[in-house]
Amino acid sequence: MRLTNRIWVIFILVISISISLLADNGRISGVIVAEESYQPLPGANIILVGTLLGAAADLDGGFTIENVPPGDYILEVLNIGYQSVRQSVTVQSGERVEVRIVLPTKVLKSPEIVVTGARRAVRKADSPVTIATISAEQISLRNPTTMEDVLPYESGVQIIDGQINIRGSSGYARGAGTRVSVLVDGFPAISFDNGTIYWEAIPAQDIERVEILKGPGSALYGSSALGGVVNIITKRIPSGTHTKASLSEGIYSKPSDEMQVWTSQPMTLGEYRLTHSRSFGKLKLAAGLAQNNSRGYYQNGWYHRTILESRVEYSSSQNRQLLSRLYYIFDRHGSFTQWKSPFQPFHTPAGTQNDAIKTSKLQWSTAYSRIVSPRQSQLLRFHLFQTGFDNELYNNTTSSRARTAQSELQIDLRPNRTHYLTTGIDLKLHQVTADIWGNHHGWDAAVYFQDELNCGTKLKLTGGVRGDLHKIDNFTMESQLNPKLGVTLSALPGLTLRASAGRGFRAPAIAELFIESQQYIFYVKPNPDLQPETSIAAEIGAYWQKTWFDFDLAVFSSHYQHLIEPLLDQSDKKIQFRNITEARISGFEVTADWSWQFIPATGTISYTYLDPRDLRADLPLAYRHNHSLVISQQFNLAKLLSCGVDYRYLSKMERVQLYDENPATGADQRVPIHLVGGFCNLIIKPALQLNLSVENLLQYYYVVIERNMGPVRLIKLRLDYSF
């Protein structure tokens, strides 16, 4: 082609594109209502299929999608508790299309959409990896103090002394490091210095839903996600003016053996929270104050916690939104390492009664999202997370301050109806000032890319990769490349088959690299040569969704290399974190949700089997439960009273690391765990609710880890009043 011809072609293309951009786009407005009552459905998600355009229904069920190019579209509406509905719309140049969409009630309450698997909203059935969800209703009914109380009711999820396990990934490493990434609205809630999750920094009352990605998520979320991701999505600020007061009082039951009773006072806890929100046109503001106090169910299990929070939302249009959240917690709590004796398992050893720890957390996160065009959207995030602790222990007065500043840009592209591209860049700066592991600084940089390919209407292929750079002080920079592949096939109406494989990694925490301290009788020394631990995981599964039940099956296997564990150095008798273990965790998981046809009741049963093996030592991995079972049944009476029962079973841990069972004496016995809980929620009037919940209803005695008793029965009563 001659040069002049090329110039003409380019000129015509530019003119064509300009004309198309200048064309007067239309808009779609409407209202979403429930079929049963014809009441508006606030929060419903409206998606313009095949584009990046969409909206969320406001408090009156209304929505507007702006800047829609002329053409024929399919509008899809999704809302928890309702069947999704698709409706065809035609947008003419410069015109406004009005729609009214009626959503039929869905018997099962499982959410239709998830955002964690692909960093964007997709139908749960279209996710190539297992994603479990916990709804706001499930959380509220159980009235948890922190999310630690709720997450273990999800299949394959256990929390062992604050460390979260998804399908046995983390085990228990005495607080150092986590192999599960915990996010709040996509922002990490893990401290940089010791890799600890601050559960109390996650507002249980404000949660819209929790999504749990089971399997490596490092291809999108980077370090720490090699065992999975827990993404906690908070509620949006409602329109109008709202004030809510929440008062909760609880009491632990005393052990039946008088010798085990450590206090003559009632073992109470109290949670008090006041929030206020107000909207000024496009600007919404919310602020809250909470005070949590507990005497604890064991000596030194007390805490005093003050929480301040504020949120800002600004939507200049449906296509541009700014969300900002500031959270500050000051907490002082007792410290408990292990029991005084098996005869007094709720007592702390002599001399440690005054041990306490002061902590503070400051979290500021801001996200700005905008839909640039039907083919492109952008999300810009900023995050500051500062954590600190001061140990006031009988033999340890150490402290640490950690700061992380994060900035991330994510771009979603929809070049055509076949591809959906997600790409982004993620930068983090870290600083630690501590006497327990010294002063350090570092940075992380990452680039990620994912393409979802729709092969017809039934087959979806997903491929992605994330490159991470990680540097601490002047040590050699680490680089990691984590790919993933996934496929979903809609085999039959309601039945989706899926398969996925991916690689994950975790960079060692500052604590594991540089700790130098004495913990009880153990001296711990640093190991700056620690390498990141990695995993390769694969999963196949099936999801079957019918009107009256959901069924999910997953078979999975993860191969871990260079797992970091504490080891005694025989040369100087000091403990050091080392890359010592090669491990494989295989298993399967079955979950079924159902609803009775003639009574207003829903239920769920889920079972997880794990075979966690240390391949070098040919032993079971420590601190894992091979079998876990969760059964829940909930009854709803006239939409005013909801009652339910939960049962959770965990098989006996096969192996622990420190104090094994002594068959000759019966000491350090471990037992299977059977926990029964119950709840009742009464809506007296829309603004007033009462909730009664019980955990460990049968007062079952068990150890969580060696010489640490699990919680005894807790009865809680909560009153919520909105005005």
Partner 1 sequence: MQKITHFLTAALIFGLLLSGITCEYGLEQVEGIQGTVYFPYDSTANAVLWPDTLNGAFVVIAEYQSIVYKSVDSIFTHIVAYSDPLEISHQESGYSIQLRPGYYIGGVVGIKEITLAEIAFMPLDSLVSHPEYFTIIGVYESVSSSLGVGKIKVLEDQLTDGIDINVNYEYYLPF
Q: Which of 87, 717, 721, 722 lies at the binding interface for partner 1 (CB under 8 A)?
A: 717
Q: How far is the CB of 181 from partner 1 (least distance, A)?
A: 31
- Binding to partner 1 (CB under 8 A) within 317-336 occurs at none
Quote the CA–CA distance of 602 and 397 in Å, as a whole number. 51
Quote the CA–CA distance of 76 and 69 in Å, as a whole number. 17
Element (H, E) at 477: none
Question: Which residue's entry shows tokens 């999505």?
Answer: 233
Q: Is residue 523 at the binding interface for partner 1, with CB under 8 A as the rule?
A: yes
Q: How far is the CB of 256 from partner 1 (least distance, A)?
A: 5
Closest CA to 407 of 422, 428, 389, 421: 428
- Which residue, 281 or 666, is less far from partner 1 as judged by CB? 666
Evaluate whether 483 touches 453 at the Cβ level (below 8 Å). no
Q: Which of 65, 176, 697, 705 lies at the binding interface for partner 1 (CB under 8 A)?
A: 697
- Which residue, 146 or 576, is less far from partner 1 as judged by CB? 576
Closest CA to 622 of 533, 532, 508, 706: 706
For 359, residues 6+ apart whose C-beta sits below 8 A from its C-beta are 198, 329, 330, 331, 332, 333, 387, 388, 389, 390
Burial class (CB in 10 A: 0-12, 13-18, 19+), 664: exposed
Q: How far is the CB of 166 from partner 1 (least distance, A)?
A: 26
Print the binding letters for residues 467-506 with partner 1: x by CB under 8 A, - otherwise: ----------------------------------------
Element (H, E) at 16: helix 3-22
- Which residue, 116 or 576, is less far from partner 1 as judged by CB? 576
- Binding to partner 1 (CB under 8 A) within 659-678 occurs at 659-660, 662, 664-669, 671, 674
Q: How many CB atoms are closer than 10 A to CB 342?
A: 14
Q: Is residue 264 at the binding interface for partner 1, with CB under 8 A as the rule?
A: no
- Binding to partner 1 (CB under 8 A) within 401-460 occurs at none
- Which residue, 289 or 719, is less far from partner 1 as judged by CB? 719
Q: Is residue 515 at the binding interface for partner 1, with CB under 8 A as the rule?
A: no
For 676, residues 6+ apart whose C-beta sits below 8 A from its C-beta are 645, 646, 647, 648, 696, 697, 698, 700
Q: How far is the CB of 400 from partner 1 (least distance, A)?
A: 23
Q: How far is the CB of 699 from partner 1 (least distance, A)?
A: 5
Q: Is residue 574 at the binding interface for partner 1, with CB under 8 A as the rule?
A: yes
Q: What are phi and psi of 516, to 5 degrees?
A: -145, 100
Q: Which of 516, 701, 708, 711 lies at the binding interface for partner 1 (CB under 8 A)?
A: 701
SS3 67: strand
Q: How far is the CB of 685 from partner 1 (least distance, A)?
A: 9
Range in contact with partner 1 (rule: CB under 8 A) among 146-154, 251-259, 309-317, 475-483 = 251-259
Quote the CA–CA distance of 621 and 583 in Å, as a whole number. 8
Q: HEC profile for 249-283? A: EEEECCCCCHHHCCCCCCEEEEEEEEEEEEEECCE
Q: Is residue 22 at the binding interface for partner 1, with CB under 8 A as the rule?
A: no
Q: How far is the CB of 565 from partner 1 (least distance, A)?
A: 12
Q: Is residue 354 at the binding interface for partner 1, with CB under 8 A as the rule?
A: no
Range in contact with partner 1 (rule: CB under 8 A) among 58-66, 185-193, 385-393, 684-692 = 684-692
Q: Which of 9, 10, 49, 259 lies at the binding interface for partner 1 (CB under 8 A)?
A: 259
Q: How far is the CB of 343 from partner 1 (least distance, A)?
A: 5
Residue count (the chain): 723
Q: How far is the CB of 577 from partner 1 (least distance, A)?
A: 15
Element (H, E) at 435: none
DSSP 158-193: EEETTEEEETTSS---TTS--SSEEEETTEE-B-TT
Strand residues in 35-189 grouped as ranges (E)? 45-48, 54-56, 62-68, 71-78, 85-91, 96-103, 113-114, 122-123, 130-135, 157-160, 163-166, 181-184, 187-188
Element (H, E) at 11: helix 3-22
Q: Is residue 702 at the binding interface for partner 1, with CB under 8 A as the rule?
A: yes
Half-sphere exposure of 688 (CA within 13 A, CB side): 2
Q: Which of 197, 472, 694, 705 lies at the binding interface for partner 1 (CB under 8 A)?
A: 694
Q: Which of 43, 81, 238, 342 lies at the binding interface for partner 1 (CB under 8 A)?
A: 342
Sheet holding 228-234, edge to edge: 130-135, 207-214, 228-234, 181-184, 187-188
Evaluate whether 167 touches 585 at the Cβ level (below 8 Å). yes
DSSP 40: B
- Binding to partner 1 (CB under 8 A) within 280-319 occurs at none
- Which residue, 461 or 680, is less far from partner 1 as judged by CB? 680
Quote the CA–CA distance of 127 and 123 in Å, as a whole number. 7
Residue type (1 letter), 448: Y
For 410, residues 6+ apart whose C-beta sits below 8 A from its C-beta are 119, 378, 379, 380, 381, 422, 423, 424
For 351, residues 6+ apart whose C-beta sits below 8 A from its C-beta are 394
Q: What are phi and psi of 616, to 5 degrees?
A: -75, -45
Q: How far is the CB of 145 from partner 1 (least distance, A)?
A: 18
Question: How many residues sit in the footprint of partner 1 (CB under 8 A)?
Answer: 48
- Which residue, 70 or 678, is less far from partner 1 as judged by CB? 678
Print the binding letters for residues 622-661 with partner 1: x by CB under 8 A, - otherwise: ------------------------------------xxx-
Q: How far is the CB of 700 from partner 1 (least distance, A)?
A: 5
Q: Is residue 580 at the binding interface for partner 1, with CB under 8 A as the rule?
A: no
Q: Which of 4, 37, 88, 256 lies at the binding interface for partner 1 (CB under 8 A)?
A: 256
Q: Is residue 521 at the binding interface for partner 1, with CB under 8 A as the rule?
A: yes
Range in contact with partner 1 (rule: CB under 8 A) among 11-19, 100-108, 213-221, 680-688 = 680-688
Range in contact with partner 1 (rule: CB under 8 A) among 182-190, 445-453, 580-588, 711-719 = 711-719
Q: HEC profile for 184-210? A: ECCEECECCCCCCECHHHCCHHHEEEE
Q: How far is the CB of 195 from partner 1 (least distance, A)?
A: 23
- Which residue, 2 or 685, is less far from partner 1 as judged by CB? 685
Quote the CA–CA distance of 175 and 186 in Å, as a whole number. 23
- Which residue, 445 or 717, is less far from partner 1 as judged by CB? 717
Q: Which of 253, 293, 369, 651 lies at the binding interface for partner 1 (CB under 8 A)?
A: 253
Q: Which of 1, 19, 22, 350 lies at the binding interface for partner 1 (CB under 8 A)?
A: 350
DSSP 4: H
Quote the CA–CA distance of 492 and 677 in Å, as a whole number. 37
Binding site residues, partner 1, CB under 8 A? 253, 256-257, 259, 340-345, 349-351, 521-523, 568, 573-575, 658-660, 662, 664-669, 671, 674, 680, 682, 684, 690, 692, 694, 697-703, 713, 715, 717
